[in-house]
Structure 1
Amino acid sequence: MNKALIGKIVNGLLVVAVLWVLINRLPGVIENFRKQNQPAPSFAVPLLDGTLFESEETGKALVVVFWATWCGPCEVELSRLQKLIDDKVIPADSVLAVSSLEDRHLVQKTVDQRRYSFLVGVDISGQVAGLYGVRATPTTALLDKNHQLTWITTGLSPLLEVKIRGLFK
């Protein structure tokens, strides 16, 4: 085969791959868009420190991230949030990372190793993730002080910091 034909085949495969990703992600993107500017689902989740976090009791803006200990993109997003906390852009108690369907001890070990200072909830049953329609991790939801869902996204988001800064200004 000549190089021109190989190049066309590779380009064709790349186009197919990109289209496949877009087609598979599009329903989730549309669903997330429809949830925005609606009342956020209320929930209660046990925190690693043993207390119960109740979402409607906060009375302030909140970043909720659904994550997993094994998820590489989650580690990236949570590290970005930790940096915003470290830089005093947002308070640590305004971030809630919810791990679903994972062992509490594994979650605690991961949080300790990565030195996260934000709130961490353990949704053992997956019920809280279900309320938000989480299909993949990380899924990040921003709730304003009135408990309205202002933005929700799945995966790594280039808009994360901009959206958070806007919520907390």
Structure 2
Amino acid sequence: MKKRRLVMRTVILLILGAAVAYTLYANFSKDKVHKVEMGKEAPDFVLVDMEGESHRLSDYKGQGVFLNFWGTWCKPCEKEMPYINNQYKQFEDQGVQTLAINISESNLAVSKFLDRHNLDFPVVIDKDGQVRNAYGIGPLPATFLVDPEGKVVKYHTGTLTESMVREFMEQIKP
């Protein structure tokens, strides 16, 4: 009986030790997840919008691209959407494109969100999380500014104000 208890305690301690080791490893290596470097080429991708049209990032070369990663459940994301929409209308004819990349949600959830907020810019869904992983996205909302040459010039995480959106779009205007 004592031997059996000793074995069980040893197994439990080993499992706890492995969990602690993994947690430490994950915390110390999380800074390396951010794969996109400023001044480097933005990772290319193709995602489909709610109307079934494909959007390839590299097709927007020659234009600035405002990439916004978001989720329907994210209150800060919801707060900034009208600001992004207003500035999209201002900058769309000046060579600045906006792509809102939803993080792996259903078409139904995204459609309901879009109907409620009446957004004009293209919204695509990263179904399998590959784009999110390529860009090293952590907390939402996350915004990348891609210049007309296709290079990432800025990364911002957190809620944007309308003046910030305007300033960011101004930075990537051709």
Fold similarity call, TM over 0.5: yes
CA contact (8 A) 1:62 1:145 kept: yes
Aligned 8 A contact 2:96 2:173 in 1: no
1:95 counterpart (83, 94, 98): 98
Match of 1:162 in 2: 167
- Whether contact under 8 Å (2:87, 2:165) holds in the other structure is no
In structure 1, the partner of 2:112 is 109
Report the counterpart of residue 146 of structure 1 in structure 2.
Answer: 149
TM-score, length-scaled by structure 1: 0.74
Identify the residue that residue 40 of structure 1 maps to in structure 2. 42
Percent identity for Structure 1 against Structure 2: 24
Using structure 2 for the length normalisation, give the TM-score. Answer: 0.72
| Residue-pair matches, total | 141
Q: Gaps (5+ residues) in structure 1?
A: 1-23
For the pair shown, which has the larger CA radius of gyration, 1 or 2? 2
Could you list the structure 1 runs, at least 4 aligned residues long, displaced by more than 6 angstroms after superposition.
Answer: none
CA contact (8 A) 1:93 1:118 kept: no
Please give the secondary structure, in 1, of the residue aligned with 2:50. coil
The residue correspondences of 1:62-77 to structure 2 (distance < 5 A) are: 62-77=65-80
Once the two structures are superposed, residues 36-95 of structure 1 have per-residue CA deviations (whole angstroms, 9 ceiling, x without a partner) of 111101111111110111110112111110000011110122221112134x23459711
Secondary structure in 1 aligned to 2:91? coil
- Would the alpha carbon gap of residues 51 and 130 (structure 1) be closer, same or farther in structure 2, given more than 3 Å must change? same
Unaligned runs of 5+ in 2: 1-26
Give 1:157 deviation, angstroms: 4.0
Q: CA RMSD in A?
A: 2.5
Alignment partner of 1:57: what SS?
A: helix
1:85 is the counterpart of 2:82: no
